Amino acid sequence: MSVDINISEEAGVRYLHFSSDWIQGAMRIARPWALELDYTREMMAGLLLRPEPQWPRSALLIGLGAASLTKFLHRHRPDTRITVVEIEPAVVAAARQYFKLPDEDERLDIVIGDGADYMAKTRRRFDLIMTDGYDEEARTGMLDSLPFYLNAKAALSDEGLLVANLLSSRRDFRNTIVRLTEAFDGRALAFPSCDSGNTVAVAAAGEEIDQTLEELRENTVNLKRDTGLNLLTTLTRLARSKSCPGGRLVL
């Protein structure tokens, strides 16, 4: 993979592009640690499903982009060990130069490599795996395949969650949801699409998730208090969908 990195700024927001109009990441310059794009905020919904303050103890992020997810976890989960796998060295360089990627230390490890290959070979276990890897034409390649999802499930801990950003030019994710559901034995959920067209999917391994909408609302309030992240809109859309029969989310 070789891409041309383009940086643009508008109205106080800095954007990352790969040789196209597709936005690969964004950062509000005045609030570099905040999650600027809707879908990046929604990808933190796992913090509502596993609300314990020490979770996740370990996180694997496939695809760095503008480092939004990495920076949020690094800032608000100081005990989390974060591993980021990014295939393109130029993206890492851009994240450091333009998007305030933190320095590597005992909490943060940046691996240059293919995310699917890493997932197939790793023997580590993670509480949280997040996938957000796309090329300049919004293609995922092997990151949206049954073998990848099976490998991801095998790499999750007993409290493990996989969170995936689903984006394509066709806006049709039915086959992806079928693959996720098969890999995770039915324990997968697609959130209603964001205004941007992104859909965030969550799949669970290990301990069952069984929470009422009221419990999720309380978790939302606590998360906003602790991090400033407001997922009330996400919860409202979820409640209006058919994903919570009887007012419970079971996964």
Pick left, alpha or beta for residue 146 (phi over 0 → left; psi -120 to 50 → alpha; otherwise beta).
alpha
Tell me the HSE value of 219 on the side-chain side, using a 13 A CA sphere: 19
Asked whether the CA dihedral 227, 99, 133, 74 is positive or negative, the reply is negative
Cα–Cα distance list, 17 to 23, 35, 38, 151 (Å): 5, 17, 17, 29
How far apart CA 185 and CA 129 sit, in angstroms, is: 17
Phi/psi at 225 (5° precision): -60, -40
- 171, 178, 174, 180: which is closest to 148 by C-alpha? 180
Question: Catalytic residue at 132?
Answer: yes
Residue tagged 């890492």 (tokens): 92
Asked if 153 and 203 count as a contact pair (C-beta separation under 8 A), the reply is yes
Fill in the amino acid letter for 186.
Answer: G
Chain position carrying tokens 């034995």: 185
Tallying the residues shown for the chain, one arrives at 251
At residue 24, what are phi and psi to the nearest 5 degrees?
Answer: -95, -10
Catalytic residue from among 132, 135, 195, 210 = 132
Q: Which residues are catalytic?
A: 132
